[in-house]
Amino acid sequence: MEQKSSLQLQDFLPYRLSVLSNNVSSLLASLYTEKFGISIPEWRMVAVLGEEPGLTSTQIASRVAMDKVAVTRAVQNLIEKRLVRRSSSQADGRVSHLNLTKAGQRVYDDVVPMALAVEHQVWGALNPAEKDYWDEMLSKMERRVSTLRDELLEINK
Amino acid sequence: MEQKSSLQLQDFLPYRLSVLSNNVSSLLASLYTEKFGISIPEWRMVAVLGEEPGLTSTQIASRVAMDKVAVTRAVQNLIEKRLVRRSSSQADGRVSHLNLTKAGQRVYDDVVPMALAVEHQVWGALNPAEKDYWDEMLSKMERRVSTLRDELLEINK
DNA sequence: TGATTTTTGTTCCATTTGAAACTATATAAT
DNA sequence: ATTATATAGTTTCAAATGGAACAAAAATCA
């Protein structure tokens, strides 16, 4: 299998992904930050708690690809903003369960359609068949990258 | 055209792109940071100067999707590490041209094959036809997203 | 020419982020 | 039971990042 020998940043997959991802994220963030004053990690927490109420910090961290420090901070901010409520677990004194407040639920209900609309707009670049194909390929790449990562960790252990 | 009404983060395009992009970038970065002690923005500068020697800071910023502050800092760091050299322009007293030093060129020569190898590994998830298709769709999405961004800026002006 | 505006790049300050150390609770092992 | 180990979450400190104000040179224009 032949391989390129020079590197054009504009054609380089990691670079293109990074730029596209940043542009999509900031497009989306520009909508909810100015309207609701929440950051990207805060929005992710709201989104995941909207889907699955009562999660603990650790559960959120694993679902949202944030580290536990980032979760702690997002929780603190969202509690200050009265969008999230914390209730300590009876079963385990170390953990607490997190839920959206009424106000948090309202933010969720307002942002979800906006977020889906942005996604829909971006999908507008592709026809339905292309979209399905893209989804499939994206999944393949995701799996491949996480395999590569595991291999690398294994080697460096 | 029908539209989803609920948001599953794992299926949400901006989220998936962000996770994939971060994983790819950190996979790559783990290789060159530990070997050469350079950061992601520093590597991008080296990459672009390897392709096009003599660029100015502003030219780099526009090619690499970094803001000018980030470029200033990356340049400072790379000059301290003696990987980049600055020479002021005769034509324009404000700008200076940047070039890789011998050592910088060596870093470039060493990292490029590693970077291409990682890209190649990731591409391994797709067969050649899929890869071409993916490239085409990625380009479509890039164009779409930048159009959306321009529209949004236009509205908010 | 002299005044004004733009462009280039840097500095300063505040905010964000990340890693390591730490506290508190729970689990396992002897 | 006592000790050791693991897990959940927080705090602390240093580094990275972003934006606004800034200085210097160039371009515009009156």
* Position with higher pLDDT, B56 vs A151: B56
Burial of B67 (0-12, 13-18, 19+ CB in 10 A): exposed
- Please, which pLDDT band fits residue B157 given cuts at 50, 70 and 90? very low
Return the closest-CA partner of residue B117 out of B2, B37, B27, B11: B27
Torsion on CA atoms B134, B137, B139, B145, rounded to nearest 10: -130
Measured distance CA(B29)–CA(B14) in Å, rounded: 22
Put simply, whether the predicted model's pTM sits higher than 0.95 gets the answer: no
Among residues A93, A113, A109, which one has the least CA distance to residue A101? A109
pLDDT of res. A97:
97
Residue B95 lies in a domain: yes
Determine how β-strand A84-88 pairs with β-strand B96-100: unpaired
Lowest mean pLDDT among A58-72, B2-16, B71-85: B2-16
pLDDT exceeds 70 at position A155: no
Is A84 contained in some domain? yes
Of A8, A130, A149, the CB nearest to B27: A149
Is there a domain that residue B108 lies in? yes
Percent share of chain B, pLDDT over 90: 83
H runs (alpha helix) in A37-84: 40-51, 57-64, 68-80
Domain assignment present for residue A116? The answer is: yes
pLDDT of residue A151: 84
Q: Measured between CA atoms, how close is B38 to chain A, in angstroms?
A: 16
Question: What are B79-112's pLDDT values in tens digits?
Answer: 999 999 999 999 999 999 999 999 999 999 999 9
Best of B3, B5, B13 to disrupt the A interface by mutation (most A CBs within 10 Å)? B13
Whether the pLDDT of residue A94 is over 90: the answer is: yes
CA B90 to chain CA centroid, nearest Å: 30
Report which residue type is found at B153: L
> Which pLDDT score, from 0 to 100, does residue A1 have?
56
pLDDT given for residue B151 in this prediction: 84
Picking from A4, A13, A31 by the largest number of B CB atoms within 10 A of its own CB, the best residue to mutate is A13
Q: What confidence score (pLDDT) does residue A149 get? A: 86
A96 touches strand D (CB under 7 A): yes
Residue of least CA–C1' distance to D7: A94
What mean pLDDT, rounded, does chain B reach? 92
Question: How many interface pairs between A and B have CB atoms less than 8 angstroms apart?
Answer: 176
Rounded CA separation A130/A135 (Å): 9
What is the residue range of A113's domain? 9-125
CATH number at residue B84: 1.10.10.10
Residue A38 has pLDDT above 90, yes or no: yes
Sorted by sequence, the CB contacts under 8 Å of residue A121 that are 6+ apart come out as B144, B148
Residue partners of A150: CB distance under 8 A and separation at least 6 = none
Average pLDDT of the segment spanning A53-67:
95
Domain count, chain A: 1
d(CA B37, CA B29): 10
Task: Report d(CA B125, CA B135) in Å as an integer.
Answer: 14
pLDDT of residue B108: 96
Quick one: tokens of A78? Answer: 């969202």
B127 vs A: CB within 8 A = no
Which residue shows structure tokens 């929440």? A38
* A139 within some domain: no
Which amino acid belongs to residue B116? Answer: L
Please name the residues in contact with B13: beta carbons below 8 A apart, sequence gap of 6 or more.
A24, A119, A122, A123
Residue B7 is assigned to a structural domain of this protein: no
Please report whether residue B112 resides in a domain: yes
Amino acid letter, residue A68: K
Contact B140 A125 (CB under 8 A): yes
Tell me which chain A residues have a C-beta less than 8 angstroms from the C-beta of B14: 21, 24-25, 28, 115, 118-119
